[in-house]
Amino acid sequence: MKYGIMAVAGIIVGLAACKHKKTIPAPAADAVKPVAVTAATQYDSDDPAIWINKTDSSKSLIIGTDKNTHGALYVYNLDGQIVKKIEGLKRPNNVDIAYGLLLNNQPVDIAVTTERETNKLRIYRLPDMEPVDNGGLEVFAGEKERGPMGISLYTRPADKAIFAIVSRKSGPAQGYLWQYQLTDDGKGQVTGTVVRKFGAYSGKKEIESVAVDNELGYVYYSDEQTGVRRYHADPAQGDQELALFGSGEFKADNEGISIYKTSDSTGYILVSDQDANAFNVYRREDAKPVLLAKVPVSAINSDGSDVVNVNLGAKYPQGIFVVMSTDKTFHYYDWRDIAARIK
C-alpha cells in the first residue's frame, strides 16, 4: 500500500499524539462511590458550584460548567437531572455562587462564571438564571495575558460586600489574581471595580482553582505543581502570603479546592490530587495545614469541586460533596462517606 506525502505526515503526527497522550488511571478499588452521577454535558465538564435554596434545601441546585467554545452552564437538581441549560457561552471555565447581592435594593443570589474566550465574567440571578451583567464584565483589562479561569466569591462579614477573586490562564510572578467588588450599576445590573491585584505564581503551570473561606477571611488557590497558597480575602488586610502547603504531596497537579465547615472556625480543606483520582484533606483551622488524609473517589481526573455542610435531605443529611469527572459528568457524594475516610 502506498501513501502520499501528506498522508504519511498525518500518520506521523497521529502516532506522536498517541505516544504523548496522558494516561488517566482508573479509580481505586476502594474509591468512595457517588450517590448520584449527573447527566453528561455536551463537551467538557469542568467546575461545579452548589446553590442552597434557603426556603427548601431539597430544591437546591448544582451549577456546572461545560468548558468549550460552544459551551454552557448546566443547572442540575439533587438527583443529577438537567433542569436548565444556559447556552452561547465562549468557554465557561469555573463558577461560584454568592448570596444577597443588593440589586435595586433587593438581595439577589448570583452565580458567576468566567468566560475565557471573551475575557469576561458572566453573572446570573438564582434560581431562574437570568443574566444580570449587562452583557458581561471585562476582566484583566489592559493586560497582555488575560484568559480568566478560576473564580471565587468572597462576602465580607463586616458589611456584606461581595467580591470576585479571579485567576487566569497565565500571568506575572506577582499580581496574578485580580479582585473586583461587585455592586449595582444603578440599573439593577452588576458592575465590578478592581480593588487589588495580588498573589504569587511559580510559573510552573497555571492557576485555575480558587476558593474562599468567608468566616475565617482567607482565599486559597492552587498554584499547580507547587502547592496551595493562602492569603487574606479582605483587601484591607494586605497582600502578604500567609501559607504555602501541599508541596510534594500530589501525584502531579493540585487542582480543585473545597472547604467543609464543621463550625465557624473548624473543618477541612479538600484539594484534588487530579492524576491520583483522590482528594488531599487538610485541617481548615491549622496555621500551616498538614496532610491529614487522602480520600480516593470514583470521579476521574477531577479538577473542580464544591462542598456544603447543609442538610439536603435523606441522601445528604450532613451535606454534599460535588466533584467534576472527566467523563463529562459531576459526581454527588454523601459527606458522611467522605468523612468516614478522614477519621
Quick: pLDDT tens for 282-308: 999 999 999 999 999 999 999 999 999
> Grid coordinates representing 293?
488524609
CA dihedral 20→24→25→28, nearest 10 degrees, is 160
Judged on CB neighbours under 10 Å (0-12, 13-18, 19+), 260 is: buried
pLDDT the model gives residue 24 = 74
> Grid coordinates representing 70?
460552544
- The CATH class given to the 46-267 domain equals mainly beta
Residue 13: count of CB within 10 angstroms of its CB:
10
pLDDT the model gives residue 343 = 77
Q: Is the pLDDT of residue 90 over 80?
A: yes
pLDDT the model gives residue 22 = 61
Quick: pLDDT tens for 66-88: 999 999 999 999 999 999 999 99
pLDDT the model gives residue 214 = 97
What is the reported pTM?
A: 0.92
Lowest mean pLDDT of 9-18, 93-102, 152-161, 166-175, name the range. 9-18
List CB contacts of 164: < 8 A, sequence separation 6 or more: 96, 112, 121, 151, 152, 153, 154, 179, 180, 182, 192
Return the amino acid letter for 247: S
Quick: pLDDT tens for 214-233: 999 999 999 999 999 999 99
Q: Where are the domains of the chain?
A: 46-267
pLDDT the model gives residue 6 = 38
Residue 57: count of CB within 10 angstroms of its CB:
15
Q: Is the pLDDT of residue 20 over 90?
A: no
Q: If pLDDT is split at 50, 70 and 90, which confidence band does 12 have?
A: very low
Nearest CA-CA partner of 33 in 339, 340, 331? 331
Residue with cell 495580588: 198
List CB contacts of 112: < 8 A, sequence separation 6 or more: 95, 96, 97, 98, 121, 122, 123, 124, 151, 153, 164, 182
